[in-house]
Amino acid sequence: MDNDTEDSSRLGSAISSVRKSIAQLRQYASISRVEEISRRYFVINAYDGAMTMLGIVIGFHVAGNVDPRLVVGAGLGGSLAMGVSGFTGAYLSERAERQMRLKDIERHLFTNLENSVLESASNFAAVWVALVDGAAPAITAFVSLSPFILALQGLISVPLAVLSAVALSILSLFVLGAYLGRVSKENILLYGLQTSLAGGATAGLLLLIGGF
Amino acid sequence: MPATLNRMVVDALKSRDIPIIELSKALCEVRGIGEVEMLVMEVDADTETVKIVFKGDDVDYDAAVETMRQYGTVIRSIDEISMSKSG
């Protein structure tokens, strides 16, 4: 009975400490106003991921050798590189911007902000933005690559994988556009069409260059 | 005979990055503070001048100053104070 009480009190304190940590992270997010910038980073990089995969898939198609193993290898390599580049690039640039802002505030207040909530919020923002920036291209790239993973398993044919990958890439671009339309409270369809049109134009250009 | 701090009004300069609600909540956590009132007096590009009123039974002044620093706020002047003899 005593052990049960001890266990439940331990569980209770663990839950309350998790809640406290979440509340603190929310406070850091609100102070650093990270939501807006991470939204921007997410859309830009997810857009990059979908567009790059579209380019890779049509590039293989134009070259006339669509080997699912090669497409998956090139796609995974590309998305990993985009992820690492997004993470490190965003972390370093965001951290530099935040440090500059922090030093600016220190100068205005004539005080040292070491170990302050403002410093923690700045560090949190840099890591959060880097995570978003690193994960965003990988997510859309994985969506576009998924038909080739199925083709690799022999579940669908290669021509179907090419068509599905192109369709999924353009659909990802449409969803990103629609999301921007929702954020800006403007025409969702129009925004979605604009971004998917950019994908369609890229695909058309690649096919044209490759002479079908 | 030690004295306890019951009420204090300060003029402070804070970063605009910190919302007054967050600062007020943090100050309410300081030992001895039972009530906080905050009034924005002036707004600049990066900073705000705020009037802060602390009320409590035995306000821990040093802890209040440290909490304010953590939240990007510094005291410019102490404008009113109310102390009482303890014990």
User: Residues A72-107: pLDDT tens digits?
Assistant: 999 999 989 999 999 999 999 999 999 999 999 999
pTM of the model: 0.83
Taking only the tens place, the pLDDT of each residue in A111-141 is 899 989 999 999 999 999 999 999 999 999 9
As a whole number of Å, the CA-based R_g of chain A is 23
A116 with B70: Cβ contact below 8 A: yes
B46 with A118: Cβ contact below 8 A: no
Q: Could you give the CA distance from residue A191 to residue A172 in angstroms, rounded to a whole number?
A: 13
Here the ipTM equals: 0.83
Show which residues on chain A lie within 8 Å of chain B, measured between beta carbons: 27, 30-33, 101, 104-105, 108-113, 115-118, 121
CA distance A154 to chain B (A): 55
Are the beta carbons of A196 and A179 closer than 8 angstroms? no
Partners of residue B74 in chain A, C-beta under 8 Å = 109-111
Secondary structure element (H or E) that encloses residue B25, with its range: helix B20-28
